[in-house]
Amino acid sequence: MQRNNLSTNGLGEEPQRLGRRLLCSSPYGRRLMCLDHSQKIMRSLTSLTHCKPDRRTKIISAIALFFLLIMNGCSSSGPWLSFPSDQPQVNPVINNLYGDFQGWEPVAFDAKPFASLNQHSFCEEGGDFDPDVSADGKWIVISSLRHAPNPDIYLKRTHGATVTRLTSDPASEIQPCFSPLADKVAYASNRSGNWDVWVIGVDGANPTQLTSGTGNELHPSWSPDGKQIVYCCLGPRSKQWELWIVDAENPGAKKWIGYGMFPTWSPNPKVNKIAFQQARFRGSRWFSVWTLDLVDGEAKFPTEIVSSVHHACLCPTWSPDGAKLAYGTINRSIYEKVDPAVPQASGEDIWVVDLDGSNNLRLTHSDAGNFSPTWSPDGNIFFCSDRKGIENIWSIKPHHVVFGQQTPVDLSQHPQSNIRSNYQN
């Protein structure tokens, strides 16, 4: 008898058989089919108690064979009796993209500079600080508390671990500075009762006192030719920090050149400048970085290079070519009551700036105290940091800093001045 054409499809299948094939073609359909078969199995199991033993054995064998078949056909999509949950599924990838995990608190983005850090001293008690690097880059001179309650001067190789003690005195010796030939070290000591400038050989011989005034003299820095030293002195009359120059061979010859603290002389003889820090108004610790030019031995053109409303800018130091300055910052709220209050921002960091005040770049992040920077001839900046709990000497390599590519900016060429430049050709 011919079947009705409506009862078959183009493939010659009956609707019931086609529906079963379509169900088995999808994971969810296969699970429905398995559930339908399982219901039939349950009905067969309940009737086993009324069957004869031989018939009961045949039914059990058929059921076992059926389970093997459906497990092979329905297990590819997970547990064959599991069903989609009515609860909406949370996509962990989307949540991860938005940082919205349960129990996590959102954290504000804070960009941190990236650069490689190298540790150069490994003091485990006391601390190392006030680094200076020799002109050939092979030696570092530091102040250290590693062996005594008062700091002494030590000498060590840049990439070595051993240290050589240059001074051993019950008094304190701080802020050492190599001479251009690296054969002497100038430093500040209070062994005479107040702070004075001293000079000692790198072999620890012939310590010589250069200043002996009633004021406190600190932070010596050599001229490029090694004949003079600039330092700062707390004037007994002015009650301000003053800048002085002393002849290294004739300590009686001194010259006052202005007000400021922590001066450093440019190592480039073509850039006869001195950088220093100066308070922005009398009695304040709100420091900014300044330079002055020495023209025919006279201080000219004091120029503010960098300042901040949030930080004190401290301890400037010159790049080897005299075109850039590195300096440290400290948050004003740490040491000074500010009214009105300034926002809390990163504080004890090392920065680099061009001599014209442009390209002000932060090198460190204030997750640790970073201070007292100094340049090495290869462009690395050495500084003191307590990032491991104790102050030690570290270095960082500024990225995108190229030396000697252009002539340093000559700020002594004032538009209304006919004084010649302090750059010597």
* Interatomic CA distance for residues 26 and 34, integer angstroms: 12
Alpha helices (H) along 236-345: 332-335
Helix or strand run (H / E) with residue 147: none
pLDDT at site 2: 43
pLDDT at site 214: 86
pLDDT at site 202: 95
SS3 label, residue 5:
helix
Percent of the chain with pLDDT over 90: 51
Cβ neighbours for 165, distance < 8 A, ≥ 6 positions apart: 147, 152, 153, 154, 204
Contact 244, 254 (CB under 8 A): yes
285-336 confidence digits (pLDDT tens)? 789 999 999 998 899 999 999 998 888 999 999 999 999 999 999 986 655 5
249-282 confidence digits (pLDDT tens)? 999 899 999 999 999 999 998 889 999 999 877 6
The pTM (predicted TM-score) of the whole model is 0.69
* Interatomic CA distance for residues 40 and 418, integer angstroms: 111
* Interatomic CA distance for residues 106 and 332, integer angstroms: 28
For residue 348, CA distances in Å to 326, 329, 336, 344, 363 come to: 13, 5, 15, 12, 11
Helix or strand run (H / E) with residue 216: strand 216-222
pLDDT at site 423: 39
Cβ neighbours for 111, distance < 8 A, ≥ 6 positions apart: none
* Interatomic CA distance for residues 420 and 344, integer angstroms: 44
For residue 146, CA distances in Å to 3, 127, 302, 385, 389 come to: 105, 6, 39, 15, 14
* Interatomic CA distance for residues 252 and 232, integer angstroms: 16
Low-confidence ranges of the chain (pLDDT < 70): 1-115, 282-284, 332-347, 366, 399-425
pLDDT at site 4: 43
Give the CA radius of gyration of the chain: 40
- DSSP label of 126: S
pLDDT at site 223: 97
pLDDT at site 207: 94
SS3 label, residue 305:
strand
